[in-house]
């Protein structure tokens, strides 16, 4: 069941959280998130001058009696926030103990649960694309009653294969009917990079949160000596002698890579954080994400 990813106590605590967004959704569907667009719901917002053809039901006749002018009442309109989660399921994400992919699925499940309990809409775009029924079952999910089904479908996903992160983000930007919030869960180790994909989401108008998931062993390898490295996705092999000197150079390169990613995001207003797959879920979801103002 979905509880394989998140236990019932954590799910109940997540239900009390509210997703935050710096931008207001322009989605066409009604929800429970307050929009700055003006509509005709239940909470008064402002007046504007009457224009021929306006709905006469919203004229303020009391104001007309005092000012002898016609004004239309405007009301706040509630809109739902569409949230798209880009979940990297490529072979490199299966590395580590616990695996990066399982951890990313747990984070995706938590975000999806909060979104649905807040009456917003969530889609999980998995890449490489699943070969079974899961593709459609994770797209355009609505209502808190769908949460356990979403968690169940996420728990059954298997990682593996090769993907192009730039292309997947670009496709997601093009195919999404409405821009909203985009959460990218990946190790960002795609051979083609990540820059063009993030820029495509920005151009589409998404508010972006990039989460770099890594395994402790990627920064603190335990194997030494004459080794043969095999690329998890391309199958390319390279033989190296791996000692303390190479370890220091490797760690410096890995740290610099994450630092470049963080700086790339910072310069473009993209929320970013790097997290180990061994991180306590409770600490991440209930403390760190609150500090980063993903939810409250």
Chain segment 196-253, per-residue pLDDT in tens:
999 999 999 999 999 999 999 898 887 766 666 666 666 677 766 767 778 888 889 9
Query: Residues with Cβ < 8 Å from 225, sequence gap 6 or more?
Result: 241, 242, 243
Query: Residues with Cβ < 8 Å from 144, sequence gap 6 or more?
Result: 15, 116, 117, 119
pLDDT tens digits for 184-197? 999 999 999 999 99
Q: What is the maximum alpha-carbon separation in the chain?
A: 91
What predicted TM-score, i.e. pTM, was given to this entire model? 0.79
Q: Characterize the bridge pairing of strands 71-79 and 141-142.
A: unpaired
- Per the structure block, which two tokens stand in for 167? 């292309």
Listed residue (8, 72, 12) closest to 38, CA to CA? 72
pLDDT tens digits for 30-72? 444 544 444 444 566 677 788 777 778 888 898 888 899 898 8
Q: How far is CA 201 from CA 18, 208, 257, 276, in A?
A: 23, 8, 21, 25
**Cα 175 from chain centre:** 16
DSSP secondary structure code for residue 286 in this structure: I
How confident is the prediction for the chain on average, in pLDDT? 84
DSSP secondary structure code for residue 59 in this structure: B
pLDDT computed for residue 43 by the predictor = 60
pLDDT tens digits for 137-177? 788 898 888 999 999 999 999 999 999 999 999 999 999 88
Higher pLDDT, 296 or 171: 171
Angle between helices 147-156 and 100-117 (to 10 degrees): 170
Beta strands, E only, 176-219: 181-186, 207-214
CA–CA dist 212, 190 (Å, integer):
12
- Per the structure block, which two tokens stand in for 112? 């999806």
pLDDT computed for residue 125 by the predictor = 96
Q: Is 75 exposed, middle or buried (0-12, 13-18, 19+ CB in 10 A)?
A: middle
Q: Which fold has domain 2-25+81-291?
A: Rossmann fold (3.40.50)
Within 10 angstroms of residue 184's Cβ, the number of other Cβ atoms is 28
| 83 three-state secondary structure | strand
In this structure, what are the phi and psi dihedrals at residue 260, rounded to the nearest 5 degrees? Answer: -65, -40
CA–CA dist 129, 136 (Å, integer):
10
pLDDT tens digits for 58-110? 888 988 888 998 988 876 555 678 999 999 999 999 999 999 999 999 999 99
Q: How far is CA 232 from CA 93, 94, 96, 165, in A?
A: 9, 9, 12, 15
Within 10 angstroms of residue 89's Cβ, the number of other Cβ atoms is 22
Task: Indicate the domain borders of the chain.
Answer: 2-25+81-291, 33-79
pLDDT computed for residue 18 by the predictor = 79
């Amino acid at each position: 069941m979905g509880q394989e990813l998140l236990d019932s106590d954590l799910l109940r605590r997540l239900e009390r959280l509210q997703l935050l967004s710096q931008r207001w959704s322009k989605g066409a569907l009604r929800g429970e998130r307050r929009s700055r667009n003006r509509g005709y719901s239940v909470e008064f917002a402002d007046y504007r001058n009457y224009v021929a053809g306006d709905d006469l039901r919203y004229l303020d006749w009391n104001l007309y009696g005092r000012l002898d002018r016609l004004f239309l009442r405007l009301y706040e309109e509630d809109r739902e926030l569409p949230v798209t989660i880009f979940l990297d399921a490529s072979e490199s994400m299966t590395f580590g103990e616990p695996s990066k992919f399982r951890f990313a699925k747990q984070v995706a499940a938590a975000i999806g649960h909060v979104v649905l309990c807040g009456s917003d809409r969530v889609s999980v775009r998995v890449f490489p694309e699943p070969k079974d029924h899961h593709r459609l079952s994770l797209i355009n999910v609505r209502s808190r009653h769908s949460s356990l089904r979403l968690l169940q479908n996420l728990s059954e996903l298997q990682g593996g294969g090769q993907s192009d992160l730039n292309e997947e983000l670009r496709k997601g930007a093009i195919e999404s009917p409405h821009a909203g919030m985009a959460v990218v869960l990946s190790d960002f180790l795609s051979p083609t990079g990540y820059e063009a994909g993030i820029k495509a989401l920005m151009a589409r108008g998404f508010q972006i949160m990039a989460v770099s998931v890594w395994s402790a062993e990627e920064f603190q390898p335990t194997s030494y000596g004459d080794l043969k490295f095999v690329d998890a996705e391309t199958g390319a092999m390279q033989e190296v002698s791996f000692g303390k000197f190479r370890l220091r150079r490797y760690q410096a390169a890995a740290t610099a890579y994450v630092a470049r990613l963080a700086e790339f995001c910072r310069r473009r207003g993209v929320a970013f954080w790097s997290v180990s797959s061994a991180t306590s879920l409770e600490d991440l979801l209930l403390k760190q994400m609150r500090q980063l103002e993903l939810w409250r």
